[in-house]
Structure 1
């Protein structure tokens, strides 16, 4: 997987064209959603294998949503300003599960969320939170115990991850090994902390479920799993247990990386490829598409030509693609909803998607932001 695929300059619209197109798309979509939020609408740009798939709007008027977690009959969504929202029985509950004190910065706050592998018994939720302490920005991981959609306890299990106004990373997920993986961002594009093993900045971290360090991590007594990252935005594992991470470049060179323990992915010395001292990205986007959540689809409910699914904010699409075939295989699954922030797979094989039009970079309509479900 050393071959680098670079998207050509003509494959995606440049900023002004994207903005014009987004306005037109938002207008079309606002017409579509004037019906009841529970009415299914056909998928735009259907492929030949997905004629029976539909999009259902489960929730509207979410405020700067960032990430989704699914368990049992509930969906949990973080809102950047500090709320954990709950969707149960296809209904957004009026009261949030929790309201946390988050830093008021452009791309920080309450970010990632995940559920414990044994959530149905222990009711543990994990969130990634940016906070301000005496004028300094930090990030921490909280383990929340909930009961009947209410917070029972909140415990900080990992702290003092350097924070930033713009590049905090923030995605957290449990891997197939039931360890907690965390993507952290750099404090600034001029910082070399991602190359410093003693810093938590610009890393993929691997933790036990209580925040302690696993004995089999690649660096002794260190939570660092890989280093040299700029701003991780999504992570997923394929059926063979390989970990993939999507991350923002500075203005171009967004990357999809195959993460191997102990390896260095180059930032800020390398973008995508070119230095034999660092790992090459397996996909590189120039210009940027702002990748969000990613996943390998493992269900049999929906029929996709490729299993890798990726949300894109700047390109305003939900995509499928095949790593072996590269960027030429990239096809839209869902468009016409503006910026797409995160995508996860439900227990029934459906997909859940959140938009990101109220994040300060989009063109929200009166009902944004939305949680949508793609199903049969």
Structure 2
């Protein structure tokens, strides 16, 4: 009886994975899964990535973090065999080597910043490393910010430089029962704002504090619009995923508020119930696509790359890309094209033989 049940579960899983990865209603057909295979819409730049988390794009190079500690390099559309770096990361479900971003003057100083979960004396922590690379190799690595409380499931970990050339960092809560996101003296459940060397900017909203905003659960994506407004996407607890406009010094409610309703907290711009697991987000500013709405959002649980109209809300979402499973991150390259990574090997997806992938979207 047990064997029959197990076989049925396998069959169902296989059928579901085929549907998720090759739905005939896909807005963009995925090319055959051969490295650097091409179609009119998508190019596969890399395959067999292991639990990739975040993308950073330079002129002719793309850097991808893998959760287990590797920074992969794709140069001139070719995946290099050796990683740029192999860092020791904590072996926990949703921690490890997470976010990556390039210094605004990367072409001159070769600075790469990453967010890393590690274990020390039985405790989980997160830190930010500034890596100096040379010819796709690690030349130097310096911890510039440390002792962000860590977790097995909610580390946040998304990092980006803003228009003001300050480094913004999304940190997660240590557990859903923790009230540290409401504690201004804790680095848990915050958006942090740092100088490029890890020091605290003098014009931060709280004196001598890296905290830019508080009351966050698990930030996953970060972007700015043309007016310099900061937006953050974050996971809720199975429901109530949020897109928030982040204002300096404001409180976004977690765990006292989810999405909206509290008089002392900021309300979410968009709230998703049930969860869609938003990933990377961006405002498209290039000339390669004529999007109806410039706000682009990766979604893991909904297995789509969307364009979203804030004024019309959730009903306005239009799919740009589907049929590839879970979509973890999206960035705009200097060439104006979109780059995405899938997230089918993260323990929640149904990977095919060549997952995970880095894709360039052409149209």
CA deviation string 1:126-160 (max 9, x = no partner):
00000000110000000000000000000000000
Tell me how large the CA RMSD over aligned residues is: 1.6
Shift of 1:21: 4.8
Aligned to 2:9: none
User: Is 2:55 the partner of 1:94?
Assistant: no
Structure 1 residue 18: deviation in Å?
Answer: 11
Task: Please say if 1:316 is aligned against 2:314.
Answer: no
Shift of 1:331: 0.5
Aligned twin of 1:116: 103
The equivalent position to 1:276 in structure 2, one of 241, 253, 263, is: 263
| Alignment correspondent of 1:345 | 332
Tell me, in whole angstroms, the C-alpha distance in 1 between the residues paired with 2:355 and 2:228: 35
TM-score with structure 1 setting the length = 0.90
State yes or no: 1:297 paired with 2:284.
Answer: yes
Q: Give the one of 219, 223, 227 matched to 2:214.
A: 227
Equivalent residue runs for 1:164-203 within 5 Å: 164-203=151-190
CA distance in 1, matches of 2:135, 2:309: 40
Q: State yes or no: 1:41 paired with 2:39.
A: yes
* 1:13-59 deviation digits (Å, cap 9, x = unpaired): xxxx9996543132569x954464323235xxxxxxxxxxx111000
Once the two structures are TM-superposed, the CA of residue 334 in structure 1 deviates from its matched residue by 0.1
Question: Which ranges in structure 2 are unaligned for 5 or more consecutive residues?
Answer: 1-11
Higher RCO (Cα < 8 Å, 6 or more apart)? 1
Does structure 1 retain, via aligned residues, the 8 Å contact 2:215–2:252?
yes
Q: Deviations over 1:269-291 (max 9, x none)?
A: 00000111100001000000000
The match for 2:355 is: 368
Unaligned runs of 5+ residues in structure 1 are 1-16, 43-53
Question: How many Å separate the matches in 1 of 2:38 and 2:200?
Answer: 45
Question: 8 Å contact 2:31–2:38 — kept in the other structure?
Answer: no
Deviations along 1:272-330, one digit per CA (max 9) or x if unpaired, are: 00111100001000000000000000111111110000000000000001112211211
Q: Which residue of 2 aligns with 1:240?
A: 227
TM-score w.r.t. structure 2 length? 0.93
Mapping 1:100-179, distance limit 5 Å: 100-179=87-166
The aligned residue for residue 18 of structure 2 is 23
Q: Does structure 2 retain, via aligned residues, the 8 Å contact 1:18–1:315?
A: no
CA distance in 2: counterparts of 1:310 and 1:32, whole angstroms = 19
